[in-house]
Amino acid sequence: MKQNYLFTSESVSAGHPDKVSDQISDAILDEFLRQDPNSKVACETLCTTGLVVVAGEVKSNAYVDVQGVVRKTIADIGYNNAEYGFEASSCGVLSAIHEQSSDIRLGVEKPINMMYQQAEAEGQSCKEINREFYEDAMSAQGAGDQGIMFGYAVRETAEFMPATLALSHLLLQELDAIRKESGGKSYLRPDAKSQVTIEYDEFGKPLRVDTIVVSTQHDECVTDNTILQHIKECLIPRVKAKDPQLAELFQDDYRLLVNPTGRFVIGGHNGDTGVTGRKIIVDTYGGRACHGGGAFSGKDSSKVDRSAAYMARYIAKNLVAAGVADEVQVQLAYAIGVAKPVSVAVNTFGTADVAMSDGEIASRIAKLFDLRPAVIVERFGLKNPIYLPTASYGHFGRQPYTVDGIEFFGWERLDAVPEIKQTFNLD
């Protein structure tokens, strides 16, 4: 017999050590792309008390002041006080970035370079080459590595994200806004975590918030009761006002746990070492969907770990929005140096509203969408410096926006809905 159940997701603030590492990696990536859109970057960051270590592989015509980017990123996050044990202007910065492996480049660049060299030898102009070889180049650019990537969407929130994760992110986004509104003089410090448990009915519909956990770093002089009252009287009302749909899940009987240990003064990099890529579930779907294991931050779009994961989310979200199913997971798998995916899989978890199997849905999706890495990169403008904003509060469920003609979070668009409705004969 089916019965109600509980599900939990967590989030971490922009000041959490792992997220600081992610933001540094993506800030460095953005600077390379800003100067050279064809940069190939795989940048990892480790942060600990008083020290940042940046390592990775890069092929680029750009020069990046790594130390300057690191310090600016840390300062913008809010680590500007020596009492925190980690401060932007005084921490050590070590760079161990070196040339990208030529073996890895073979699958991405060599086929295209050979095609252009042959065309030039035959006396063709650049315009003729670009026109004639465009499609061949798209096919020749293979995936930067093998891997499996997942995208997911569910009809639970306006953003087609799990309510548990959407609320976890929103709590910390508003908490961070409150901290910054005080001009950095509040007792709140940058490091924080949230966790939300929601009760679902037997059909998977969210019913009510069961438990909220908020742990926030704070100044020494602040009492536990002060922080609890702040969360109850300031943060929770702001969150409810921000998202009326999530606000409907709040009832009077939910449990609120704030700094459960009773103290969170030693935090940030003074209490925990941060490493790029350790918050991949926070970055994606809060545990509701599968994950292929690859991190996003610090990687340029030739790495399908990132670009194909964005495409899989785009497909899943548009499928749900079009009415194909109420819940969709899409898997894409690639081989290094090969342009087309080796497999496309769809799971609708029994929620499909079309009379066909998940295999049939996957087959139609594989024909409808061009899944070659170069096409994905072009579709979402992934050679632009758009990645730093993705490195905190999730890569998905965000509102697309444009700055100076550059689109951010383009994979969250719903512009494929008309094509999907036509493909699946939906009104």
Strand (E) positions, 342-383? 343-347
pLDDT surpasses 80 at 332: yes
> Is residue 16 annotated as involved in ligand binding?
yes
> What's the pLDDT tens digit per position in 214-262?
998 777 777 778 888 889 999 999 999 999 999 999 999 999 998 887 7
Look at residue 209 and tell me if it is in a domain: yes
Look at residue 222 and tell me if it is in a domain: yes
Pairing, β 188-200 against β 206-218:
antiparallel
Q: Give the residue, 300 or 180, on which the prediction is more confident.
A: 300
The residue behind tokens 């240990």 is 261
Which tokens hold the place of 306?
A: 């990132």
The residue behind tokens 């490493």 is 275
Task: Name residues whose C-beta falls within 8 Å of residue 281's C-beta, 6 or more positions apart in sequence.
Answer: 10, 287, 291
Q: What values do phi and psi take at 279, rounded to 5?
A: -120, 45
At residue 209 the predicted structure's pLDDT band, cuts being 50, 70 and 90, is very high
Domain identity same for 316 and 408: yes
pLDDT surpasses 90 at 104: no
On whether the CB atoms of residues 81 and 87 are closer than 8 A, the answer is yes
At residue 427 the predicted structure's pLDDT band, cuts being 50, 70 and 90, is confident
> What's the pLDDT tens digit per position in 343-368?
999 999 999 999 999 999 999 999 99
pLDDT at 85: 77
Domain identity same for 415 and 315: yes
**Which residue segment(s) compose the domain that 260 sits in?**
5-10+162-267
pLDDT at 223: 76
pLDDT at 261: 77
Look at residue 119 and tell me if it is in a domain: no
Domain identity same for 415 and 317: yes
> Is residue 18 annotated as involved in ligand binding?
yes
Which tokens hold the place of 14?
A: 């922009």
pLDDT surpasses 80 at 135: no
Domain identity same for 152 and 184: no
pLDDT surpasses 60 at 23: yes
Name the 3-class secondary structure at 225: helix
> Is residue 263 annotated as involved in ligand binding?
yes
Domain identity same for 331 and 394: yes
Averaged confidence pLDDT in the chain? 89
Look at residue 402 and tell me if it is in a domain: yes
On whether the CB atoms of residues 49 and 86 are closer than 8 A, the answer is yes
> Is residue 44 annotated as involved in ligand binding?
yes
Q: What does 325-352 look like in DSSP terms, one character per residue?
A: BSEEEEEEEE-BT-SS-SEEEEE-TT-B
Domain identity same for 347 and 413: yes
Domain identity same for 380 and 336: yes
> Is residue 355 annotated as involved in ligand binding?
no
The pLDDT of 84-102, averaged and rounded, is 83
> Is residue 303 annotated as involved in ligand binding?
yes
> Is residue 264 annotated as involved in ligand binding?
yes
Domain identity same for 208 and 177: yes
At residue 198 the predicted structure's pLDDT band, cuts being 50, 70 and 90, is very high
At residue 122 the predicted structure's pLDDT band, cuts being 50, 70 and 90, is low
Q: How many CB atoms lie within 10 A of CB 102?
A: 10
One-letter amino acid identity for 273? T
> Is residue 295 annotated as involved in ligand binding?
yes
pLDDT at 410: 98
How far out from the chain centre does Cα 238 lie?
A: 24
Name the 3-class secondary structure at 152: strand
Look at residue 241 and tell me if it is in a domain: yes
> What's the pLDDT tens digit per position in 31-52?
999 999 999 999 999 999 999 9
Q: Among 216, 242, 267, where does a domain finish?
A: 267
Q: Which helix (H) or strand (E) holds 47?
A: strand 40-48
> Is residue 278 annotated as involved in ligand binding?
yes
Domain identity same for 252 and 318: no
Look at residue 288 and tell me if it is in a domain: no
Q: Among 240, 267, 294, where does a domain finish?
A: 267
Domain identity same for 308 and 204: no
Q: Give the residue, 180 or 392, on which the prediction is more confident.
A: 392
- Structural domain count of the chain: 2
Domain identity same for 151 and 187: no
Domain identity same for 308 and 325: yes
Question: Residue 193 pairs with which residues in a beta bridge?
Answer: 12, 215
Look at residue 365 and tell me if it is in a domain: yes
The pLDDT of 60-89, averaged and rounded, is 91
Look at residue 408 and tell me if it is in a domain: yes
pLDDT at 265: 56
One-letter amino acid identity for 118? Q
> Is residue 160 annotated as involved in ligand binding?
no
CATH number, position 248: 3.30.300.10
> Is residue 57 annotated as involved in ligand binding?
yes
Q: Among 267, 294, 311, where does a domain finish?
A: 267
Question: Residue 234 pairs with which residues in a beta bridge?
Answer: none
> Is residue 100 annotated as involved in ligand binding?
yes
